[in-house]
């Protein structure tokens, strides 16, 4: 993936990860990747590993936390949980998206 | 924004936790991979297929780890740290180069820091008063008479103060010296006589006690004084109870009402301030005397132009009531201009000079770096092959050069600190000297030019070296590839730049030095050798009726003082002659009086009367000061209160009024003629005195040596006006300083309360008057010499390197029959060609640039061809020498050795 595409997707990726964790509770990296794959239909089919730097960034911003735990097939894995400030960020981002899509919707609608 | 702080903080701590985080990532990726593989196998793939798919899904592990690592910490700083460590290692490997580079940089940056801190303290920092941009220096001006900047009369000042509506405050003041008596030794204190709102206008308050009250400007209520912090410390023991104590100043008691804070700034140190007040009908408090300086504060939103119109309309109004004021107007300039405006051109020239020195140093360093890094081709090739992009390489090189320049800058700061320690030597030259320190702005400046310098001299070699062609060649030949075209062109360009800059700077120095020489050769009009001078301030008690305009000459007590002092001093062994005057040469004092020659039609109005410099003298002043008699006779003991009224004039006056004629015997007036004296100013039947010119003397410079001497007239204090603050001059047989104690005794015999003040020799006064041009010439000469040295070293370095590079070529030529002489010529010519181009460019550049200096130069044009020519030849000779030595080395090349090396 080129650098530019990654930057564009960074924001969206953050949003999707936060939403996933909020809806599904604590998950490990593989679980998050599977879920995103399902939801975004092949957006993350390749290069799932790039999820990890993104998860690190979200941790650094304080929007998620991590801890080591045991997965359902007895593997030791790192689990991620959304924090309160993460939830707040999610609300803010979601509102922004709604606003933008409303505006765009109006623009597109007015042409028709 | 909290989020951002958290992010930065996490990344900072991440620097330390890198190992742990990397380990955790590996674990996570491994687990992820296993889960993917299991999933794939569940879907029916074989183990290998499942593995392969999992690999593809996860992506390139190395890439992920790199991105993770970059996110975990701050890669910019990691790279920087890496580069720095590498740079330090490299520098330690070549200590010679490092030492030379750091010292060169320290000199260049240090000089810039020093000069900038002077510019900062004197020109850039706002004056230490409240809202200083609003303070204006206001003065009288009569453009119609050619007088542009002189003092104001007290009635005019009061009128302006009362009637203006554009100023938030207007204060008047004049400086004086006050005899402090009552202690063991009398002392002369410098101080100002000020209007009541003086301190308020400046926005400063006394630290102790109170400010003046408006009614203290009335004669009788004026015996109050505010003292300086220094005086309070040294004379009153910092005692807070000193308020309300009395000081005896000029024989009168003054009550101390306040102490100014130590931070209060005056151009010259002042220790006492008293309110201005005059007895009713005092001649000083009239339109006959213009001597007040004024400072005003603009009201908010008011412009300079508005104040100008306001004040001039007030002045026009005054003319209606006082016609003798016709033509007198007002003008103003920002106070900062008044205090530092004179020094600005000189400082700017100095700043330009040190900048040029730094640039030349940069060029030298760039060359040095180029030479040094030519041997690093192998290293660069390897790094490129391993994946370093051009940007990365560039970054490495620039880091090296900035590291060097930062180190040089640090050392330069230390050098500048010591240089500033020498500042007190420039006591009389720079205003606002106490505000020159290495403050924040100076430190920032040093940091900025260090970084810029590093970037500048690092750029060319960095660009050169990060360009990589032909890896294989570089790796094979172990780095000794032959010269690329770009390299030698870059070096040639640098040499040309160096020579051009050095030439410009040297020409500037040459001009400054010659200007100073011209100044020193000006005929001062008097002979300063072995002449002692000092001042005495006569208290009011010596002159009980100051307001009698009809008296002839000094009152008895003062006349006796003048004569007595002169007579007794001449009796001291070792004294050749002694005299007194109201104004000493070269001290810029300007006591001017009207001058009306009577052999032509009288002027029709007061404002049409010309002014000339006036000196009231006593004793053998002319002999004591070495002023030469050119015609007629000098004033002497034959000129006293009852003899014919005589004056002596200078050549400039004769040239102005009687060009080509004999002025001896001509009759003149030193006041307006009878018909122009306002009614009521003189008793009925009074006629102004007529004076006869009895002698012509040489033109002594009363302004600076660089100003043309103005017409001057001398009269004896026994026959006309005198100063109550005279300067005595004593010509000694030997060192005049030996006479000081003897003279002090003589003065004490006359009056124990009179201190002997401002003791100096005429030679010192003369040296002080040229101190600024001398310092300028000295500094510019220093910088010019430095520039020439740097340029010579630079040329030598480049030529040496070229010779070394061309060793094999020279060997071949000689093997093929070239004579040593041919080789010498070839190398020499290569170098001289560059120098010639540099000289040509430098000459053109200098021609354009030295105009900046014209304000600072005396007696020489900024494009003086002789100076340009001589300096160009000088630099050419130096350049030739710098080329010659390596060229000679080239002839020593043994062809067999050179060829074998190949």
Here the CATH number for the domain that contains residue A19 is 1.10.10.10
As a whole number of angstroms, the distance between CA B128 and CA B829 comes to 59
Tokens of residue B20, six digits: 């742990």
As a whole number of angstroms, the distance between CA B203 and CA B785 comes to 46
Q: Do A30 and B38 touch (CB under 8 A)?
A: no
- Name residues 41-60 of chain B within 8 A of A (Cβ): 56-60
Chain A nearest-CA distance from B23, in A, is: 12
Kindly list the residues from chain A whose CB atom is less than 8 angstroms away from the CB atom of residue B29: 49, 52
As a whole number of angstroms, the distance between CA B902 and CA B885 comes to 25
* CA within 13 Å, CB half, B325: 24
State the CB neighbour count (10 A cutoff) for residue B106.
Answer: 22
Q: Output b/e per residue, B171-208; b: 16+ Cβ within 10 A.
A: bbbbebbbbbbeeeebebbbbbbbbbbbbbbbbbbbeb
Q: What percent of chain B has pLDDT over 70?
A: 96
Residue closest to B841 by CA, chosen among B513, B508, B502: B502
**Confidence at residue B485, expressed as pLDDT on a 0 to 100 scale:** 57
Q: 3-class DSSP state for residue B492? A: helix
Q: 3-class DSSP state for residue B525? A: coil
Q: Do A53 and B11 touch (CB under 8 A)?
A: no
**Confidence at residue A88, expressed as pLDDT on a 0 to 100 scale:** 92
As a whole number of angstroms, the distance between CA B479 and CA B465 comes to 12
A49 near B CB under 8 A = yes
Q: Pick out chain B residues at pLDDT < 50.
A: 478-482
Given B7, B11, B58, which is nearest A48 (Cβ)? B58
Residues in chain B: 902
B71 near A CB under 8 A = yes
As a whole number of angstroms, the distance between CA B414 and CA B408 comes to 10
As a whole number of angstroms, the distance between CA B721 and CA B670 comes to 10
Residue closest to A24 by CA, chosen among A91, A62, A81, A71: A81
State the CB neighbour count (10 A cutoff) for residue B790.
Answer: 25
Tokens of residue A75, six digits: 């593997």
Largest CA distance in chain B: 139
Q: Can you give the C-alpha Rg of chain B in angstroms? A: 39
Domain containing A106 equals 3-111
As a whole number of angstroms, the distance between CA B261 and CA B233 comes to 11
**Confidence at residue B192, expressed as pLDDT on a 0 to 100 scale:** 94
Q: Do B64 and A50 touch (CB under 8 A)?
A: yes
CA angle B318, B320, B326 (to 5 degrees): 75
Given B6, B34, B61, which is nearest A49 (Cβ)? B61
Given B7, B28, B63, which is nearest A78 (Cβ)? B28
Residues in chain A: 112
State the CB neighbour count (10 A cutoff) for residue A53.
Answer: 21
**Confidence at residue B478, expressed as pLDDT on a 0 to 100 scale:** 46
Given A52, A76, A85, which is nearest B68 (Cβ)? A52
Kindly list the residues from chain B whose CB atom is less than 8 angstroms away from the CB atom of residue A77: 28, 31
Q: 3-class DSSP state for residue B679? A: coil
Residue closest to B720 by CA, chosen among B551, B506, B880: B551
**Confidence at residue A74, expressed as pLDDT on a 0 to 100 scale:** 84
As a whole number of angstroms, the distance between CA B661 and CA A14 comes to 102
Q: Do B64 and A29 touch (CB under 8 A)?
A: no
Q: 3-class DSSP state for residue B265? A: coil
Q: Do B68 and A85 touch (CB under 8 A)?
A: no
Pairing of strands B167-181, B293-298: antiparallel
CA angle A18, A24, A27 (to 5 degrees): 80
Kindly list the residues from chain A whose CB atom is less than 8 angstroms away from the CB atom of residue B35: 30, 71, 73, 75
B34 near A CB under 8 A = yes
Tokens of residue A70, six digits: 């045991």
Burial of A42 (0-12, 13-18, 19+ CB in 10 A): exposed
Tokens of residue B754, six digits: 């009179």
C-alpha distances (whole Å) from B216 to each of B155, B196, B220, B272 are: 17, 7, 8, 15
CB B286 within 8 A of CB B552: no
Burial of B116 (0-12, 13-18, 19+ CB in 10 A): buried
**Confidence at residue A48, expressed as pLDDT on a 0 to 100 scale:** 79
DSSP state of B341: T
3-state helix, strand, coil in chain B (%, to 5): 55, 15, 30
ipTM of this complex prediction, to 2 decimal places? 0.83
Confidence class of residue A45 from pLDDT cuts 50, 70 and 90? low
**Confidence at residue A44, expressed as pLDDT on a 0 to 100 scale:** 52
Residue closest to B135 by CA, chosen among B190, B205, B200: B200
Select the residue from B9, B57, B65 to test the A interface by mutation, using most A Cβ atoms within 10 A: B57
Q: How many domains does chain A have?
A: 1
CB B790 within 8 A of CB B870: no
As a whole number of angstroms, the distance between CA B487 and CA B633 comes to 78
Chain A nearest-CA distance from B63, in A, is: 9
Residue closest to B396 by CA, chosen among B465, B449, B451: B465
- B102 alpha carbon, distance to own chain's centre: 28
Q: Is the dihedral angle over the CA atoms B829, B833, B838, B840 positive or is it negative? A: positive
Give A1-44 pLDDT, tens digit per residue. Answer: 444 445 546 677 888 889 889 998 899 888 888 888 887 766 55
* CA within 13 Å, CB half, B446: 28
Q: Do B29 and A76 touch (CB under 8 A)?
A: no
As a whole number of angstroms, the distance between CA B605 and CA B144 comes to 13
The arithmetic mean of pLDDT across residues A58-80, rounded, is 89
Residue of B nearest to A6 (CA): B67
DSSP state of B720: S
Chain A nearest-CA distance from B1, in A, is: 10
Residue of B nearest to A30 (CA): B32
- Is pTM, for the whole model, over 0.90? no
Chain A nearest-CA distance from B12, in A, is: 10
**Confidence at residue B199, expressed as pLDDT on a 0 to 100 scale:** 95
Given B25, B27, B57, which is nearest A45 (Cβ)? B57
Residue closest to B330 by CA, chosen among B591, B132, B543, B150: B150
Q: Do A46 and B28 touch (CB under 8 A)?
A: no
Q: Do B28 and A47 touch (CB under 8 A)?
A: no
Paired strand residues for A65: A81
As a whole number of angstroms, the distance between CA B277 and CA B279 comes to 7
Q: Do B28 and A77 touch (CB under 8 A)?
A: yes
């Amino acid at each position: 993936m080129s650098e530019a595409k990654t930057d564009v997707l960074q924001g969206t990726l953050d949003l999707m990860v936060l939403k996933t964790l909020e809806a599904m509770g604590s998950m490990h990296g593989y679980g998050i990747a599977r879920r995103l794959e399902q939801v975004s239909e092949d957006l993350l089919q390749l290069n799932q590993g790039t999820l990890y730097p993104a998860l690190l960034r979200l941790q650094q911003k304080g929007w998620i936390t991590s801890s080591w735990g045991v997965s359902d097939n007895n593997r030791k894995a790192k689990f991620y949980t959304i924090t309160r400030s993460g939830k707040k960020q999610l609300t803010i981002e979601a509102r922004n998206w709604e606003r933008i899509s409303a505006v765009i919707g109006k623009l597109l609608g007015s042409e028709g | 924004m909290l989020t951002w702080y958290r992010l930065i903080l996490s990344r900072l701590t991440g620097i330390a936790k890198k190992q742990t985080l990397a380990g955790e990532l590996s674990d996570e990726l491994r687990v992820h991979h296993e889960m993917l593989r299991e999933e794939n196998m569940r879907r029916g793939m074989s183990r290998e297929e499942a593995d392969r798919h999992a690999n593809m899904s996860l992506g390139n592990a190395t890439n992920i780890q790199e991105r993770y690592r970059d996110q975990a910490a701050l890669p910019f700083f990691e790279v920087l740290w890496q580069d720095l460590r590498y740079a330090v290692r490299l520098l330690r490997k070549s200590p010679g180069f490092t030492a030379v580079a750091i010292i060169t940089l320290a000199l260049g940056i240090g000089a810039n820091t020093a000069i900038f801190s002077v510019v900062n303290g004197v020109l850039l920092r706002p004056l230490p008063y409240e809202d200083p941009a609003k303070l204006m220096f206001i003065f009288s001006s009569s453009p119609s008479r050619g007088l542009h900047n002189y003092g104001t009369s007290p009635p005019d000042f009061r009128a302006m103060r009362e009637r203006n509506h554009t100023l938030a405050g207007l204060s008047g003041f004049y400086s004086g010296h006050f005899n402090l008596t009552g202690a063991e030794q009398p002392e002369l204190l410098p101080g100002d006589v000020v209007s009541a709102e003086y301190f308020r206008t400046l926005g400063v308050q006394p630290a102790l006690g109170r400010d003046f009250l408006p009614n203290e400007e009335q004669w009788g209520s004026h015996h109050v004084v505010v003292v300086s912090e220094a005086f309070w410390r040294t004379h009153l023991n910092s005692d807070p109870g000193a308020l309300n104590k009395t000081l005896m100043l000029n024989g009168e008691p003054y009550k101390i009402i306040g102490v100014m804070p130590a931070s209060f700034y005056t151009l010259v140190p002042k220790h006492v301030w008293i309110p201005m007040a005059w007895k009713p009908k005092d001649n000083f408090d009239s339109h006959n005397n213009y001597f007040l300086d004024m400072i005003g504060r603009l009201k908010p939103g008011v412009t300079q132009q508005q104040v100008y119109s306001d004040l001039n309309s007030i002045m026009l109004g005054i003319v209606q009531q006082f016609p003798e004021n016709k033509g007198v107007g007002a003008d103003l300039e920002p106070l900062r201009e008044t205090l530092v405006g004179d020094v600005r051109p000189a400082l700017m020239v100095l700043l330009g000079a040190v900048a040029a020195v730094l640039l030349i140093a940069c060029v030298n360093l760039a060359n040095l770096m180029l030479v040094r890094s030519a041997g690093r081709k192998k290293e660069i090739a390897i790094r490129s092959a391993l994946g370093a992009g051009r940007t990365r390489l560039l970054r490495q090189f620039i880091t090296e050069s900035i590291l060097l320049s930062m180190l040089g800058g640090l050392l330069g700061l230390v050098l500048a600190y010591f240089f500033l320690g020498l500042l007190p030597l420039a006591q009389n030259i720079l205003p606002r000297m106490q505000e020159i320190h290495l403050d924040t702005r100076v430190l920032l400046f040093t940091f900025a030019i260090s970084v810029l310098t590093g970037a500048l001299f690092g750029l060319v070699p960095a660009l050169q070296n990060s360009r990589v062609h032909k890896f294989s060649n570089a790796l094979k030949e172990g780095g000794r590839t032959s010269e690329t075209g770009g390299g030698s062109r870059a070096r040639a360009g640098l040499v040309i730049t160096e020579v051009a800059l050095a030439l410009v700077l040297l020409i500037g120095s040459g001009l400054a030095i010659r200007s100073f020489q011209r100044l020193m050769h000006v005929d001062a009009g008097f002979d300063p050798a072995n002449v002692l001078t000092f001042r005495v301030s006569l208290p009011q008690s010596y002159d009980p009726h100051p307001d009698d305009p009809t008296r002839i000459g000094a009152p008895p007590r003062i006349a006796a003082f003048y004569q007595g002092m002169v007579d007794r001093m001449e009796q001291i062994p070792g004294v050749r002659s002694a005299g007194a005057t109201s104004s000493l040469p070269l001290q810029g004092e300007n006591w001017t009086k009207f001058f009306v020659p009577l052999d032509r039609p009288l002027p029709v109005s007061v404002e049409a009367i010309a002014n000339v410099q006036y000196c009231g003298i006593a004793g053998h002043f002319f002999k004591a000061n070495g002023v030469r008699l050119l015609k007629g006779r000098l004033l002497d003991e034959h000129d006293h209160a009852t003899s014919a009224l005589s004056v002596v004039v200078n050549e400039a006056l004769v040239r102005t009024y009687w060009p080509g004629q004999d002025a001896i015997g001509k009759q003149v007036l030193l006041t307006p003629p009878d018909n122009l004296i306002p009614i009521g100013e003189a008793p009925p039947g009074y006629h102004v005195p007529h004076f006869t010119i009895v002698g012509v003397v040489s033109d002594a410079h009363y302004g600076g040596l660089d100003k043309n001497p103005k017409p001057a007239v001398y009269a004896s204090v026994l026959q006309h006006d005198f100063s109550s603050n005279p300067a005595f001059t004593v010509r000694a047989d030997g060192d005049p300083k030996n006479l000081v104690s003897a003279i002090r005794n003589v003065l004490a015999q006359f009056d124990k309360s009179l201190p002997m003040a401002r003791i100096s020799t005429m030679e010192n006064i003369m040296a002080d008057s040229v101190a600024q041009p001398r310092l300028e010439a000295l500094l510019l000469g220093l910088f010019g010499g430095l520039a020439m040295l740097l340029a010579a070293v630079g040329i030598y370095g480049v030529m040496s390197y070229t010779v070394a590079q061309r060793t094999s070529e020279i060997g071949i030529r000689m093997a093929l029959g070239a004579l040593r002489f041919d080789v010498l010529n070839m190398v020499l010519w290569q170098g001289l060609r560059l120098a010639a181009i540099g000289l040509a460019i430098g000459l053109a550049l200098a021609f354009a640039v030295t105009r900046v200096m014209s304000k600072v130069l005396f007696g020489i044009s900024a494009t003086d061809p002789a100076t340009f020519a001589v300096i160009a030849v000088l630099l050419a000779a130096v350049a030739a020498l710098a080329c010659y030595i390596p060229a000679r080395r080239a002839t020593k090349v043994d062809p067999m050795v050179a060829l074998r090396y190949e």
